Structure 1
């Protein structure tokens, strides 16, 4: 990005105090650089600036998103950024996963226009809630490491900030049509009124997307709406209102099949993995004799974000920015419940590896739930995860003189989450008898909530009545209030800052399925736990020095005392506060160097982050007790060390050809040992060596994922863009991913000497092109685009869910190789045991777009 000149500094505070909510693109006419247009911002969000802000940063503009995303996940565009790994997760629409410098999304601060969107209970980010951002984003900025944000946010790995379009964009509109593999169809329309003479402006967008992904039975339908209204009554005041949402439903693949099953259920029977294979659906025969697909895993959600921003220029030296926001979400995902004669879903697979619903329907129909024991029918539920979220951000900035300025502010939030289950399919049963609600035991429930027809109104009720809830019903209430301050110094060569913040996070757990006055873990419990206050803080600083017009160096250092997530405060879903509760401690330091000319730009970063007293919970673990039951693991006392080197460069050979590339090398490992405990889904402890808790020997083990995903420690990319004709761009790129470590499996580390499973390295190639057809009116033009992803149709494992070694013994009773090691049985695939559960990446896919701007 370009240097910000002195006149711009009168509108924004130097070094990382610029912010968002209203944006207007302008060209720096004094520079001959071909960089992307600078963005002038006001408000409360910290946007890093090249050769000023001392952090590692990468920015993706809207044009690149529109050209290259197609039917990819939005975050996949970041795979050409150092130390970032984005995958499609299970492969369902919006089910992508992301890590930065080896830290997963729950430890990456994700923001929309500076508003934090990480779940306030779990820290998770569900990208299916934000698929519409690709249509309304002006640019996406990623700051790796602690970043420049003044807020007390959990940016252990980095910060992602999606900056949306503003109301006062240039007058005009655009119509787009996109098509692609597996019936992908996307249509959108957007229009901006421009600013009127009396200061009013507006912008809106509507879009629809549908089809399926590369994976079997992953149909989806999604909508996007966006509306922004601006009013600038005078030079001192600017008001911006914005609302956007992406309501959607999609069928999923949530369970990672074993490599052996990918091969076994390949319809071509050629001893190769069938990458499209999905074990989370099956077929039934309808009244007309047709074979109909039915999903066992699905997700549906609507999470609108509404913001009102007020920028007040108090004087030439002082500004106050205030943002009030609301984000209410409604929706959930699927789970199975109950069993038939003790049999769960996995006992009803057909010869193709899919569920035989005709058998399930017939078995369920023969059971009278009124007279049978509880949980005697097998059903599908929706696990509701709805919430109401309100917040306010305020930032006062004052320019002391040409060099010094300071800012102070507050970030306050209130969150209430609703968690329970309702029936979404009876699978032919007449009802389901539930015995989990201690206040109303053994009641039969038969109301069905269709996930494709549920009301997603986030402003109304749309919450199921208590008598229709089953398995669990608990709420989480979170209060957050914080203050922050920052002092900055800037001259022509040096920029430096010192920032600090303090926050109080209060958690309360509310359980409607407990008997008040009953004991839990030796304590008498109530429906409400009362609030548990947790104090956190951070302090960080950094400096950038421009050695000359081409070279700059920077450094930053910071320390966080981060409050644990709600699962650590109330472990094993109990109403009792963790007696060993402690804050997580993060220390990070970074050095950087940059070199920039008119046609060449390169950046080099060295970083080291140590994370102590980490707690994490891994859920949905199959056969956790050896008896076929699913459950979860909780691990405490983890220390991780992440360090590495990052290099990125861009070279413009001439007006026709441009090259870009990156390389990142990391060393992510655990320090010392930790403590693990296993539980069934109903919170029953699972014995580990005769006890529920056991030492986990993790010292020097490479860091893997925590939820069916993997962490790579080496990535690289090289790409080129060729512009042979006016309006035509042809681009291609190579991506390399190596030193990939699978999900940590608690059971594998009960003795010293084990290591995380290392997955095979892989290389991918993507290509694309776009052509702009200009009309007589310069504001009117057509744009054609096409992309092919994984051009060579490479077969690769993107994520791993287990840690089975080739020297491990096959233990399944129905396996003919029981008693042999995978190596002895010849059961390996690219050097790893075929019993490992993984997600293969997509094969070759494509998309094409046509748009008309006017």
Structure 2
């Protein structure tokens, strides 16, 4: 499930949660005001836009770093940003596979990179960890339309460089939110499309007032019925930012978040139903007292998440720049479901004395989360001559309440309104320090080094996890070399070691071991004015990798298990060719071999069997994407987007009954901007046609063994159209 953030002071510590929130909010913005006032006297109106990049400079890379990566900026995102989630907007990047529970990219979505699922992709926002502390997953549904507030994002494949939060075992994604604007502006954006999908967004910026201060914000409302039956989404989000800009100073205070209510859609359908009724959704299905099949109308996930960030960037000299950040996130919500024939004992209730004795009841339950996550991150960058050094780190703490309520029961027994049938509390602290440096040792040679120390402490006690009190100390070294053949060609090689702790679900399903990874990367970069190519080979060698088993638990979380020795060996190729001022093509593909070594499984008799080398679940051997763009005139852009994903196993035992078929899907995207001299500076019209050849395909599923396989069908041809008015 989900988690969040909490920034405490000793004064706030003794107060109630509601009062504590107000106190924290006051401290947060008082600190912002103090820092701003302290700097006003020594700043002038000169603005240094590069200061904004300091927010993410500690965790981002450039072509001088021996790491495989891709960048997307606001212009890349805005033409397709019509309501679909951030992972879906990243679908055409190398080695990326995305999926959607509702089938149309709205609501709960997922991403895999190099076969690694979202729990293994480190995500930061302005350098602040975003991954859920316990599950390690990312839930962009909690921040709907967040792409409308993203200035740029970078996806580093493999271990990448040191970052804050959970270790990157497949990739790391860092996002930079909107920069400040010199001039006042406004924006109204609306889109509509298939499955009653609607998105409305309003943005504003005051511009720099007195050459120093800006306030900007966004409000978004997004609704959709989804492709799958009852897979509805009712989403709202906001973004508010206050910025102070000085000659050498950038201070930002951000508040953003959202609420989501989504009908559960992760059950999937079996093979027979997939053929006869692709959109069938078993969530909420029950049999009433008269034997009729019905659906509970509030089988929903409900969650609110609010983020607070304070950043202070300072350019101390031509050589030194620093960043200090504090963050707090509050998350609270519940998962509601109808359950049939539940034992009273499971809910701490007594049987009802009758003839015969009543031991079970139908009921509606809610599983609640009330979580806080808070901490600080910091970095200092030193640049001189041939040296580029970054020193950084962070400390974060998670505190989470997990509790359950029964809100209705056919037979109430001894229950009372508001009773909890379970109460769990868990804490997790995560601290790290790192030092990384690029050193140019000769005209064509550069060395890269990166050392990180990370400490993780996790404590939990519940019926699901048992008693957990683990402490991990990880040392993660990285090193590489870059050789520039000439101004357009460079070669690089890198090695990185990473460690990763188990998540909450891993503890619920056994006694997991921490994972270890050795990542070797070898690449070639070619870049000129008209074309660019990147070729990257990788060998990722795992010890005790927690691989997906194909099963899901009772709240839809994927179950994982240690696999002993395993590896991922692959080749990534991506490029961009600009033929002339009208035509451009951006292809990519990944060839990979993903294997468990000497994989041990249990047969039908309960005996352990060594299956030797087997495919790692959810790891296709071939993934390819392409974007062909035609601009007949400057302000009109037409794009044909293609994605191919080869077949993949949903298990680790090479059971062909649990296979996802390959699929090839094509989208069409058009955008046309009209420049005006009226009240509106421009009018942009966008069109997105997804799956324009109406392919029946499945991008995800679950395999419980013994032939119990379920599939997540994706929508056929569907469209979104929108208009943006800028003034």
TM-score range relative to shorter protein: 0.7 to 0.9
User: Aligned to 2:272, what secondary structure does the other structure show?
Assistant: helix
Select 1:563's aligned residue among 498, 501, 523.
501
Superposition deviation, residue 562 in structure 1: 2.6
Q: Deviations over 1:322-355 (max 9, x none)?
A: 010011111132344450799xxxxxxxxxxxxx
Contact preservation (8 Å) 1:90, 1:253: yes
Select 1:711's aligned residue among 619, 622, 641.
619
Aligned to 1:385: 369
Task: Specify the structure having the higher radius of gyration (Cα).
Answer: 1
Contact preservation (8 Å) 2:111, 2:117: yes
Query: Residue 740 in 1 paired to residue 648 in 2?
Result: yes
1:329-728 to structure 2, matched below 5 A, reads 329-339=331-341, 376-399=360-383, 401-423=384-406, 426=408, 429-433=409-413, 443-445=414-416, 447=417, 468-470=419-421, 472-490=422-440, 493-511=444-462, 531-568=469-506, 570-572=507-509, 578=511, 582-615=513-546, 635-674=561-600, 689=605, 695=608, 697-704=610-617, 710-728=618-636
Query: Residue 110 in 1 paired to residue 23 in 2?
Result: no
Contact preservation (8 Å) 1:222, 1:246: yes
User: Aligned to 2:53, what secondary structure does the other structure show?
Assistant: strand
Q: Deviations over 1:620-647 (max 9, x none)?
A: 759x9xxxx9999663353321110011
Aligned to 2:282: 279
Q: Deviations over 1:442-478 (max 9, x none)?
A: x414x4xxxxxxxxxxxxxxxxxxx5222x3212111
Distance 1:126 1:369, change over 3 A: farther
Superposition deviation, residue 246 in structure 1: 1.9
1:601 and 1:213 map into 2 onto residues whose CA distance is: 38
1:299 and 1:631 map into 2 onto residues whose CA distance is: 13
Query: Residue 60 in 1 paired to residue 72 in 2?
Result: yes
1:57 and 1:243 map into 2 onto residues whose CA distance is: 29
User: Aligned to 2:486, what secondary structure does the other structure show?
Assistant: coil
1:25-40 to structure 2, matched below 5 A, reads none
Select 2:172's aligned residue among 159, 163, 167.
159
1:788 and 1:40 map into 2 onto residues whose CA distance is: 35
Q: Deviations over 1:110-148 (max 9, x none)?
A: 111111111212212223123231221112211111113
1:331 and 1:130 map into 2 onto residues whose CA distance is: 14
Q: Deviations over 1:818-848 (max 9, x none)?
A: xxxxxxxxxxxxxxx8x63211221111100
Q: Deviations over 1:668-697 (max 9, x none)?
A: 111123477xxxxxxxxxx9746xxx6364
User: Aligned to 1:552, what secondary structure does the other structure show?
Assistant: strand
1:115 and 1:97 map into 2 onto residues whose CA distance is: 21
330-339 or 115-124: bigger deviation: 330-339
2:326 and 2:51 map into 1 onto residues whose CA distance is: 23
Distance 1:396 1:375, change over 3 A: farther
Q: Deviations over 1:682-730 (max 9, x none)?
A: xxxxx9746xxx63645311111xxxxx332211123211111231111
Query: Residue 730 in 1 paired to residue 638 in 2?
Result: yes
User: Aligned to 1:63, what secondary structure does the other structure show?
Assistant: helix
Query: Residue 327 in 1 paired to residue 329 in 2?
Result: yes
Aligned to 2:709: 836
1:637 and 1:759 map into 2 onto residues whose CA distance is: 21
Q: Name which structure has the greater RCO, CA cutoff 8 Å, separation 6+.
A: 2
Unaligned runs of 5+ residues in structure 1 are: 1-23, 27-37, 264-272, 286-290, 343-366, 434-442, 448-466, 515-519, 522-528, 677-686, 705-709, 809-832
Query: Residue 299 in 1 paired to residue 301 in 2?
Result: yes
Superposition deviation, residue 168 in structure 1: 4.2
2:277 and 2:268 map into 1 onto residues whose CA distance is: 13
User: Aligned to 1:260, what secondary structure does the other structure show?
Assistant: helix
Superposition deviation, residue 598 in structure 1: 1.2
Contact preservation (8 Å) 1:545, 1:554: yes
Query: Residue 51 in 1 paired to residue 34 in 2?
Result: no
1:185 and 1:630 map into 2 onto residues whose CA distance is: 27
Aligned to 1:780: 681
1:99-248 to structure 2, matched below 5 A, reads 99-151=112-164, 153-168=166-181, 170-197=183-210, 199-232=212-245, 234-248=246-260
Contact preservation (8 Å) 1:393, 1:410: yes
Distance 1:39 1:755, change over 3 A: farther
Q: Deviations over 1:544-566 (max 9, x none)?
A: 22211221111211112333334
Q: Deviations over 1:32-83 (max 9, x none)?
A: xxxxxx9961145446455322211111222232211424332122222111
Q: Deviations over 1:328-385 (max 9, x none)?
A: 111132344450799xxxxxxxxxxxxxxxxxxxxxxxx9968686761122322223
Select 2:92's aligned residue among 77, 80, 84.
80
2:197 and 2:368 map into 1 onto residues whose CA distance is: 28
Contact preservation (8 Å) 1:217, 1:293: no
User: Aligned to 1:764, what secondary structure does the other structure show?
Assistant: strand
Computed over aligned residues only, the root mean square deviation of the Cα atoms, in angstroms, reads: 3.4
Select 1:801's aligned residue among 684, 702, 713.
702
